[in-house]
Amino acid sequence: MIRLEKLTKTFDTPNGTVVAADKVDMEVPSGEICILLGPSGCGKTTALKMINRLIPPTSGKIFINEEDTSKQDDIQLRRNIGYVIQQIGLFPNMTIEENICVVPKLLGWDTKKAKTRAAELLDLVGLDSRQFLQRYPKELSGGQQQRVGVIRALAADPPVMLMDEPFGAIDPINREVIQDEFLKMQAELKKTIMFVSHDIDEAVKMGDKIAIFRAGKIEQYDSPDNLLAHPANPFVADFVGADRTLKRLRLVTAEEVVNADAPAVARSTGAGDVARRLASEGERIAVVIDGDHRPVGYVTADEIAGSTGDVGDLAHPLPASVPMRADLRAVVSEMFAHDIMWLACTNDEGRFVGVITQPAVTAALRATYTAPAAGAA
Amino acid sequence: MAITMNPARLTGIGIVVLLVAWAILAGALEPILSYRDDIVYLARQHMFLVLTSGGAAILVGVPVGIWLSRPSMERYAEGIMQVFNIGTTIPTLAVVALSMTLLGIGFPPAFFGLFVASLLPIVRNTYAGLLAVPPHLKEAATGMGMTQGQILRRVELPNALYVIFSGIRTALAINVGTTPLAFLIGGGGLGELIFTGIDLMDTGMLLAGALPTALLAVIVDFLMGQAQLHLIPKGVNPLR
Ligand SMILES: Nc1ncnc2c1ncn2[C@@H]1O[C@H](COP(=O)(O)OP(=O)(O)O)[C@@H](O)[C@H]1O
Ligand SMILES: [Mg+2]
């Protein structure tokens, strides 16, 4: 857990005093990612660097796991905090292995243990350790360097990580990939992370909580969904953007809104049976599935009324289906693309799990609007 | 700014080869070889001067450069470097002459003059090389929990090594080129054959001093080039 209490930093410059952090109060629970978000120059980096004491605070306190950091030795404190900077900062004179082993070595790990760890971490982010351990940073692509920058900070398994725009230096496509990889890692590692970003989309995707900064002050500290649904003031509303409702679509997965009770019938079922079932359940559509439980088509109550034969022969092909793990933005996008009101949803094996309708999507968005805004300032 | 040595090695080798060829063709080899004993004796003296004064310049210049690059020296370093830069514009012959007025004649003034002449590029390149290490590398190192000494040894020096090495190479080139002047202040060396040869208009004697001097310069530069290529780690070596 990281707790900031009335954390303040002022810089005296020739043009007068700059207040980079103004009585910042916040708490990041253990195992969560907190995003510091705001326009350039609002004090995000300053706040972050006060935590590992690269910048000494003017006043206020910082606690890590209830321990006052000002009472700890700076060097020891830093060795127990993972630190990733925007410029990546791999040491060009060291191989990838040596780069990853820097902190373990500082902590006095046995060389063999440190090397095993380096290889393990490289493989974890999909870089073949046999191929990369002995390379130098200049022999890696930008995305590969960025991955090494992150695992270098993870090397000694610190409970707390500070990341200053860690994925800022790479192209958008690679950035999405690395973000996904990182979230997957975090799901297992459960680090307490302070993460600086200036990109609202990144913040919404990565954060358990988001703190919006303006001129050294926190304007709102909230969950991504609350922040988008209930901006505390016009500045926040403006910063998160006019399309904030669309952004919320990314926070909900298809799995959360799928109707698993939607009727599914085997190809060989008789049309009469299906019609009777739809009538009794008050449904208009049945999805037709094959022997492997994969959705292959659909029939409507109106069309099969009075028909004979198997529904497999009467079914229309499905225009589209979505995986359960897709977010609602992808779902809505598919619906708009095919001009349809509902979609079949499948699991990882391609088996049918249910149906998602447009009204269900809107209902999901509405739920947080009407729910009491927990924690909103 | 840092001085980087112009790799004139090939030209140097070419010139020596031409000189030797010409010496043989012109029948100058015989008279040169008649000074064999002098050559051996004076070349030893010559190399001793180069090694001691050059070595001392490295041992003093690198730490001074490091010291000037420390944040605590930030306020004075530029001023001191200005003085050093003015120092470089003084012709080496003048430096040698001035050191004679201070220390008399013999080995000490020759050593001192050569030492001063080679010191400047080493200090300057060490200082500039260390300042040119990107600040974010130092920040990353600090943030990871390295002490100031660890940052200097593991991050700053390795990343400045190429530039520092270039300074040493330049310094040694200046040193080797200036050492013949040591004779003028009683420091001995191959300059004795060269200058006496000039005085006596004895081409054989002149060449007996000049050819080994040229050869030494080429060899030293070649060795430094090889060292720069092989000793500096691959990650920070633009040559590999
Ligand atoms: N060392 C410094 N000296 C003077 N002013 C500084 C210094 N570091 C940061 N600032 C000022 O503090 C403010 C916050 O900076 P910073 O934390 O880097 O912003 P951000 O990371 O949000 O872009 C800016 O106005 C910046 O100019
Ligand atoms: Mg910043």
- Average pLDDT of span B103-120: 92
**pLDDT exceeds 90 at position A113:** yes
At A20 the three-state DSSP class reads: strand
Asked if A282 and A221 sit in the same domain, the reply is: no
pLDDT at B134: 96
Lowest-pLDDT choice from A60-64, A224-228, B14-18: B14-18
As for how many domains chain A has, the answer is: 2
Tell me, what DSSP letter sits at residue A283? -
Question: Which of B43, B53, B93 has its CA nearest to residue B193?
Answer: B43
Sign of CA dihedral B51, B57, B60, B65: negative
**Higher pLDDT, residue A38 or A365:** A38
For the cut 70, the answer to whether the pLDDT of residue B159 exceeds it is yes
- Write out the E strands in A135-284: 160-164, 192-197, 209-214, 217-222, 264-266
pLDDT in tens, A155-203: 999 999 999 999 987 888 889 999 999 999 999 999 999 999 999 999 9
Q: Are residues A225 and A296 in the same domain?
A: no
| Residues A175/A169, Cβ–Cβ less than 8 Å | no
Res A40 pLDDT > 50: yes
> Are the beta carbons of B144 and A77 separated by less than 8 Å?
no
- Gap between the Cα atoms of A261 and B46, Å rounded: 97
CA of A194 to the centre of ligand 1 (A): 18
CATH code, domain carrying A357: 3.10.580.10
Measured between CB atoms, which of B136, B150, B233 is closest to A93? B233
State if residue A18 touches ligand 1 by the CB under 6 angstroms criterion.
yes
What is the domain partition of chain B in residue ranges? 30-231
Measured CA to CA, the distance from residue B124 to residue B61 in angstroms comes to 8
Cβ of A41 closer than 6 Å to ligand 1, yes or no, is: yes
Query: Are residues A120 and A143 located together in one domain of the fold?
Result: yes
Residue from A42, A52, A195 to probe ligand 1 pocket by mutation (most atoms less than 8 Å from CB): A42
State how far Cα A101 lies from the chain centre: 28
Largest CA distance in chain A: 88
pLDDT at B23: 75
Nearest 5°: phi and psi at A354? Answer: 160, -165
Mutate to test the interface with B, among A93, A94, A162 (most CBs of B within 10 A): A93
Establish if A267 belongs to a structural domain. Answer: yes
Question: Nearest-CA residue of chain A relative to B238?
Answer: A138
- How far, CA to CA in Å, does B101 sit from each of B90, B185, B228? 16, 10, 37
Q: Is residue A371 part of a domain?
A: no
In this structure, what CATH number is given to the domain that contains residue A237?
A: 3.40.50.300
pLDDT at A372 over 60: no
- Residue A141: strand, helix, or coil: coil
Atom of ligand 1 nearest to the CA of A49: 17
Q: What is the pLDDT of residue A52?
A: 95
- Ligand at minimal distance from the CA of A14 is 1
If asked whether residues A92 and A125 sit together in one domain, one would say yes
ipTM value: 0.84
Q: What is the pLDDT of residue A129?
A: 93
Digit-coded pLDDT (tens) for A301-348:
888 888 888 988 889 999 989 999 999 999 999 999 999 999 999 999
Does residue A337 lie in a domain region?
A: yes
| B12 in Cβ contact with B211 (< 8 Å) | no
Whether the Cβ atoms of residue A235 and residue A259 lie closer than 8 Å to each other? no
Other Cβ atoms within 10 Å of A174 Cβ, number? 17
Nearest CB neighbour to B235, from listed A75, A83, A93: A93
Q: Rounded to two decimals, what is the model's pTM?
A: 0.84
Q: How far is the CA of A44 from the centre of ligand 1 (A)?
A: 8
Residue A375 falls inside a structural domain: no
Is A218 in the same domain as A309?
no
Task: Provide the pLDDT for residue B189.
Answer: 92
Cβ within 8 Å, pair A76-B155: no
The whole-angstrom distance between A92's CA and the closest CA on chain B is 5
CA distances from B215 to A161, A324, B18, B202, B207 (A): 59, 78, 12, 20, 12
Residue A44 near residue A24 (C-beta atoms within 8 A): no
d(CA B56, CA B52): 6
Is residue A77 domain-shared with residue A223, that is, in the same domain? yes
Whether residue A136 and residue B142 make contact (CB cut-off 8 A), yes or no, is no
The overall average pLDDT reported for chain B is 89
Same domain, A232 and A307: no
Q: Chain A: nearest CA to B142, how far in angstroms?
A: 8
When pLDDT is cut at 50, 70 and 90, the band that residue B144 belongs to is very high
pLDDT of residue B128: 95
**What tokens appear for B148 in the block?**
């100031």
The Å distance, Cα B152 to ligand 2 centre, comes to: 26
Q: For B180-194, what is the mean pLDDT? A: 92
- In terms of Cα–Cα distance, which of A261, A218, A266, A254 is closest to A348? A254
**Quick one: A202 and A182 in the same domain?**
yes
| Distance, C-alpha B178 to centroid of its chain | 9
CA A41–ligand 1 middle distance (angstroms): 6
> Confidence band (pLDDT; 50, 70, 90) for B3?
very low
Grouping H, G, I as helix, E, B as strand and the rest as coil, residue B141 is helix
Q: Percentage of residues in chain B with pLDDT exceeding 70?
A: 95
Q: What is the pLDDT of residue A374?
A: 46
B142 vs A104: CA distance, rounded Å? 15
| pLDDT tens digit sequence for A115-142 | 999 999 999 999 999 999 999 999 999 9
**Residue of B154, B173, B148 lying closest to B223 (CA atoms):** B173
Look at residue A83 in the predicted model and tell me its pLDDT. 97
d(CA A94, CA A336): 51
Instruction: State how far residue A160 is from chain B, nearest Cα, in angstroms.
Output: 12
Which domain does A318 fall in, by range? 254-364
- Is there a contact between B141 and B151 (Cβ–Cβ < 8 Å)? yes
Closest residue of chain B to A107, computed from CA coordinates? B145
Domain assignment of residue A376, yes or no? no
CA distance A156 to chain B (A): 11
- Give the mean pLDDT of B130-159: 96
The alpha-carbon radius of gyration of chain A (Å, integer) is: 26
Q: Quote the distance between the C-alpha of residue B221 and its chain's center.
A: 9
End-of-domain residue from the set A205, A224, A243: A243
**Residue where a domain terminates, one of A213, A243, A273:** A243
- Asked whether A251 lines ligand 1 (CB < 6 A), one says no
Does residue A370 sit within a domain?
no
Question: Does A321 contact ligand 1 (Cβ within 6 A)?
Answer: no
Among the four given CATH numbers 1.10.3720.10, 1.10.1740.10, 1.10.1380.10, 1.10.10.10, the one describing domain B30-231: 1.10.3720.10
Confidence at A369, pLDDT banded by 50, 70, 90? low
Q: Cβ of A136 under 8 Å from any chain B Cβ? A: yes
Please write the tens of the pLDDT for every residue from A218-256: 999 999 999 999 999 999 999 998 888 888 898 889 999
Torsion of CA A102, A106, A110, A114, to 10 degrees: -20
Q: Which atom of ligand 1 is nearest to the CA of A44?
A: 22
A209 and A258 in a common domain: no
A56 and A192 part of one domain: yes
Q: Residue A368 — very low, low, confident or very high, per pLDDT cuts 50/70/90?
A: low
Q: A89 at the B interface (CB within 8 A)?
A: yes
Ligand 1: centre distance to CA A52 (Å): 16
What pLDDT shows up at residue B22? 79
Mean pLDDT of B69-95: 88
For a mutational test of ligand 1's pocket, the pick from A10, A11, A24, A213, i.e. the residue with the most ligand atoms closer than 8 A to its C-beta, is A11
Q: Which of the four pLDDT bands, split at 50, 70 and 90, describes residue B5? A: very low
Average pLDDT, chain A: 92
Residues A206, A183: Cα–Cα separation, whole Å: 7
Is the model's pLDDT at B1 over the cut of 80? no
Q: Which of A204, A224, A243 is the last residue of a domain?
A: A243
Q: Is A16 left (phi over 0), alpha (psi -120 to 50) or beta?
A: left
Could you tell me the distance, in angstroms and rounded to a whole number, from the CA of residue A16 to the centre of ligand 1? Answer: 13
Residue listed under structure tokens 């669309």 = A246
Q: Whole-angstrom Cα distance, residue A363 to residue A190?
A: 32
Minimal CA separation from A98 to chain B, in Å:
11
Ligand 1 atom with least separation from CA of A48? 17
Average confidence (pLDDT) over B214-228: 91
| Confidence band, pLDDT 50/70/90 cuts, at residue B8 | low
Q: Do A67 and A168 reside in the same domain of the chain?
A: yes
Give the count of beta carbons closer than 10 Å to the beta carbon of residue A294: 14
Same domain, A48 and A156: yes
Exposed (0-12), middle (13-18) or buried (19+): which is A2, by Cβ within 10 Å?
buried
Closest CA to A195 of A226, A169, A225, A166: A166
Q: Is residue A249 in a domain?
A: no
